[in-house]
Amino acid sequence: MMIPKNLLIAIALMLGLALLFTACGTTEEVVEEPEPEVVEEVEEPEPDPAPEPEPEPEPEPVVIPDLENVYFGFDLYNIDSEASRILDAHIESLLDLPSEYGVSIDAYTDHIGGDQYNLRLSYRRANSVTQYLTDNGISEDRIESRGLGKAPIPCYDQFDDDPGCPDNRRAEFEVIEELRAPR
């Protein structure tokens, strides 16, 4: 029997193709790509804000001392030993205060004499107190002084041997945080 030539060609072609596909096969391993891992996004914690600075400790309250009056003799403006003792205590108190604190000095006279004379005398008293303070370490820019003439307070303590009113011949002191005006 005779196989037609066309059939033989067709079979040969088929065998050739089969051989071709089987012979060209590779022995490489097929490696499957692993599925990507699902990584959960972890939010980075926000950096701690800069720590708040510790609050400054509250400053110690300033204790304002009561400053005793200084008294003068009749028609005098000098600093005697009693006035010196009182002023030394004032100086110690003022030096303990912060520098923004100062002292206001108001000097008076009694009612004896004319208004102009008493105004000048009270001014001299204020200046003698100021001079004593500055001579002993208190800066002049921390002192404000005024001579105010006759004291506005009536005097009930009069003495036979002392004319006028000893209680009104004085310099009064007040610690202040801001001075009224430059001298």
pLDDT, tens digit, 9 for 90 and up, residues 52-61: 888 888 777 7
Contact between residue 175 and residue 105 where contact means Cβ atoms under 8 Å apart? no
Give the pLDDT score at 159: 59
> Is 71 buried (19+), middle (13-18) or exposed (0-12) by CB count in 10 A?
middle
Contact between residue 73 and residue 169 where contact means Cβ atoms under 8 Å apart? yes
What's the pTM value of the predicted model, to 2 decimals? 0.64
The C-alpha atoms of residue 61 and residue 121 are separated, in whole angstroms, by 38
Q: What is the DSSP letter of 107?
A: E
Give the pLDDT score at 2: 65
CA dist 37 → 42, 47, 151 (Å): 14, 28, 97
Give the pLDDT score at 175: 93
Contact between residue 146 and residue 126 where contact means Cβ atoms under 8 Å apart? yes
The segments of the chain whose pLDDT lies below 70 read 1-3, 8, 17, 19-31, 36, 38-39, 42, 156-162, 178-183
Closest by CA position to 126, among listed 169, 161, 164: 169
Give the pLDDT score at 79: 96
